[in-house]
Amino acid sequence: MSDAVKDKVIEIIAEQAVLEKSDVKMDSTLESLGIDSLGLVESIFAIEEAFDIQVPFNANEPSESDFDISSVAAIVAAVQGLVKEQAA
């Protein structure tokens, strides 16, 4: 299941960045992929829709949100956590 989450998150980020999925590396940052603050909010919306979860994210304090967006790997891990919580 975790790999499915990872694949979907990468697909969403790649689509937002207008890149191939293979161009999105786990250590990529959103900035390095050219995703700005609007793109981030759109990506989070797409993630919420894809997994039917609520992502705790406020654009005013991204660093204080429980949702770590520092890299693709961090986002994947955070989404995996939220999906697990949802299932529990």
- For residue 80 the two structure tokens come to 């995996």
Rule CB under 8 A: say whether 57 interacts with other proteins: yes
Note whether 47 and 79 are within 8 A (CB). yes
- For residue 6 the two structure tokens come to 């990872």
Rule CB under 8 A: say whether 4 interacts with other proteins: no
Note whether 11 and 50 are within 8 A (CB). no
Nearer to other proteins, 7 or 49 (CB): 49
Nearer to other proteins, 3 or 61 (CB): 61
- Touching other proteins, residues 36-55 (CB under 8 A): 37-38, 41, 44-45, 54
Nearer to other proteins, 20 or 52 (CB): 52
